[in-house]
Amino acid sequence: MKSILFFTACIFGGMAQANAQGCVAIRSTGGMCVMDHAEMASESGSGTASKWLFNANSRYFNSYKHFVGTEEQKHRVEAGTQVINHSYTLDLAVTRLLSPRWSVSADLPIISNTRSSLYEHGGKERHTTSSFGIGDIRVWANYWLLDPAKHRKANIQLGLGLKLATGNYRYTGRFYTATGTTVTGPVDQSIQLGDGGTGVTTEINAYYNIARRLGVYGNFYYLINPQEVNGTSSARGGTPSATAVANGSDVMAVPDQYMLRAGVNYSLNRFLFSAGVRKECVPVHDLIGGSIGYRRPGYVVSVEPGITYSFHTFSLYAYVPVAIERNRTQSMADKITTDLTGKYTQGDAAFADYAVNIGITLKL
């Protein structure tokens, strides 16, 4: 192998939501984008290499551990009152290499979620709500700052795109009340298929080859959602409380989110071993627009081992980010309630211990 043939550009999940996030609605950022090294980019302009890439990324996590800030609420699991989310996303992405420096991509997420809880169903018995369908489609363009044919040791790629509101952000389910009757209403924000807003995505992907087999990588992704709320009730088929109306959390927010990744790659024969650190976050404040509305802000910091096997026209990979820090930060609604009541308020959220990303990339 002349050098490191592949480097990891981004995962999703990611799987906002990605990804060990659970109740913090960090959604998929477009699957695992395995981008070819400079050799392929430089050859694509001459017609000697594939001009199409297809990627299928499968992502799964199970969240059930509750946190307020960075403090785990262990009594929730002990008492059996924890919320349990199972999230599965299949990201199907296609990339067209237009030239050695330009490419365009599109991603279609297919999502299946379930959510089990007591408090949403009268507090007496555990029941489950679910959602299934297409998520928010993303399209974007990428550009290498340096000519890949002349700069194979290191390069930086910029990406700019649109996140479309194609996922159902008003998906409904059946909720049980304390009296045993049922009502139909929007499922929790964490298992909605979309956020209801059209957003702008920005990316920076970079690599540097230290030696023939050793390299480092870095990725940054930010989703700008200018829309403040999407109009979907957070009351799960009931009437919003006076507190929710007062602090603005009676309707769901359309939050920003971002992801940071950095790590080291080592290639050996057809294998690429990766070790990195990953941070995914739903911030308290959006970069553009207001920040009122129902959201669970927070972040997850994970260590992220991975392995990729490459063979001619395809590569197989597996990445498993394992959480080392989980933080459910104070939301704007929490802050407003604190100001109104004079009593400090901060909600909780359930997080997963790890996420599993398995996928394949094909050169077409």
Among residues 3, 90, 10, 62, which one has the least CA distance to residue 38? 3
Give the pLDDT confidence of 183-197 residue by residue, as tens digits.
999 999 999 999 999
Instruction: Identify the sign of the CA torsion 103, 104, 110, 115.
Output: positive
Tell me how crowded residue 344 is: count the other CB atoms within 10 A of its CB: 10
Instruction: State the average pLDDT for the chain.
Output: 89
| Residue bearing the bigger pLDDT, 351 or 3 | 351
Q: Which of 106, 283, 117 is nearest to 188 (CA)?
A: 117
In order of 119, 172, 219, 232, the CA distances from 236 in angstroms are 11, 8, 37, 10
Give me the residues paired with residue 229 across strands. Answer: 253
Residue 141 has pLDDT above 60, yes or no: yes
Q: Please tell me the distance from the alpha carbon of residue 209 to that of residue 333, in angstroms, as a whole number.
A: 46
**Domains detected in the chain:** 6-363 (2.40.128.130)
Q: Which pLDDT score, from 0 to 100, does residue 50 have?
A: 75
Q: Tell me which amino acid residue 338 is.
A: T
Q: What pLDDT score does 49 carry? A: 64
Secondary structure of residue 136 in the 3-state scheme: coil
pLDDT tens-digit map of 196-248? 999 999 999 999 999 999 999 999 999 999 999 999 999 999 999 999 999 99
pLDDT at residue number 46: 44
pLDDT over 90 for what percent of the chain? 84
Name the residue among 193, 261, 275, 253 with its Cα closest to residue 221: 261
In whole angstroms, give the CA distance from residue 73 to residue 284.
Answer: 21
> Which pLDDT tens digit goes with each residue over 51-103?
999 999 999 999 999 999 999 999 999 999 999 999 999 999 999 999 999 99
- Band of the pLDDT at 23, cuts 50, 70, 90? confident
The separation between the first and the last C-alpha atoms of the chain, rounded to the nearest angstrom, is 21
For residue 119, pLDDT beyond 70: yes
DSSP, collapsed to helix, strand or coil, labels residue 316 as strand
Task: Report the C-alpha gap between 96 and 127 in whole angstroms.
Answer: 44
**Sequence-distant (≥ 6) Cβ neighbours of residue 46 within 8 angstroms:** none
Residues 6+ apart with CB under 8 A from 47: none
- The per-residue pLDDT for 169 is 97
